[in-house]
Amino acid sequence: VVNYEQKIQSAFKDVSDTLALRDSLSQQLESQQRYLDSLQITLQRARGLYASGAVSYIEVLDAERSLFATQQTILDLTYSRQVNEINLFTALGGGWVE
């Protein structure tokens, strides 16, 4: 009976931890998406300033680098969220069949 209760408590903890991580990942994704939106505006402005001769091309490259790094972060977070969904399914008792 004690072993059964421990397994049940462990299962509840796994589900709780997975749900908490799910919320955290969703918040991070939303934040990074907002940041990406602002970086796209920054890149457009840098290109405009470069076209008018106000800044060097380094400014454009820096804006692109920041944009690409944020896109990579979003991809990494999306992957983590998908792994989290699988872990949640497993924690809720779902099986994995190949």
Own/partner long-range contacts of 9-18 (Cβ < 8 Å, ≥24 apart): 11/91, 11/93, 14/87, 14/91, 15/88, 15/91, 15/92, 18/84, 18/87, 18/88, 18/91
Q: Is residue 27 part of a domain?
A: yes
- Residue found under tokens 């290109």: 47
Question: Rounded to two decimals, what is the model's pTM?
Answer: 0.84
Quote the number of domains for the chain: 1
The 3-state DSSP class for residue 14 equals helix
Q: Is residue 93 part of a domain?
A: no
- Mean pLDDT (the chain, rounded): 95
Q: Is residue 97 part of a domain?
A: no
Q: Is residue 59 part of a domain?
A: yes
* Each residue's pLDDT tens digit, 54-91: 999 999 999 999 999 999 999 999 999 999 999 999 88
Domain assignment of residue 44, given as a range: 2-88
Structure tokens at 10: 């462990």
Number of residues assigned to the chain = 98
Query: Given pLDDT bands bounded at 50, 70 and 90, which one contains residue 93?
Result: confident
Q: Is residue 94 part of a domain?
A: no
